[in-house]
Amino acid sequence: MTQARLLDAAVDSLVELGWAGTTTTVVAERAGVSRGAQLHHYPTKATLVMAAVEHLADRRAAEIRAEAASLPAGAQRVDRVIDMLAAVFTGPLYAAALEVWVAARTDPELRTALVPVEARVGRELHRLTVELLGADERRPGVRESVQATLDLMRGLGVANLLSDDAARRTALLREWKRHLADVIRD
């Protein structure tokens, strides 16, 4: 699939070269797709990157779902879900998404296009997390704790951008797992 190859190449380019280094020419070359075919599917960097962000979110969700099947029931479940989320948010796919969000902050056209995508991706990740945790959001504080978990992950992703933050993160998440388990089971 030409489109899938272009989107994978765009994501890989964002991971390796960042926003500035990602051009439609570079992506077409990496994908082994002709400039003509690339321009046919994604005429601008903005359309290409937008599609790549959605593709990226789908890849992240698929990664999480793939592991979900092997989750234990009971007390260890919260621990495993947190570890899975932390792996995703400190991995290359989150760094690629961050490249696009930061670029969109000062690019009005990209920003307008990205806001609804970000909202949809955020909602889906929230729903997936609730489902994996087996949390009941009708109980007081549960919804906010799931949201805080995902915002904490975003922050841990930023803290891991430039250097390996694993030791600090592990100690911090040990406490977080305990807190979240208390809130969910309360």
Q: Which residues bind a copy of itself (CB under 8 A)?
A: 16-21, 95, 98-99, 101-107, 111, 114-115, 118-119, 122, 141, 144-145, 147-148, 150-159, 161-163, 168, 171-172, 174-176, 179
Considering the complex, state which of residue 134 and residue 155 has its C-beta at the smaller distance from a copy of itself: 155
Tell me how far apart the terminal alpha carbons of the chain are, to the nearest angstrom: 48
The CB-of-28 to a copy of itself minimum distance in angstroms stands at 20
Q: Could you please report the per-residue DSSP string of 53-120?
A: HHHHHHHHHHHHHHHHTT--STTHHHHHHHHHHHHHHTSHHHHHHHHHHHHHHT-HHHHHHHHHHHHH
Q: Is 42 helix (H, G, I), strand (E, B) or coil?
A: coil
Q: How far is the CB of 54 from a copy of itself (least distance, A)?
A: 15
Residue among 7 and 85 whose Cβ is closer to a copy of itself: 85
Asked whether 85 and 98 are in contact (CB, 8 A), the reply is no
Q: Which is nearer to a copy of itself, 34 or 147 (CB)?
A: 147
| Residue (33 or 152) nearer to a copy of itself, CB | 152
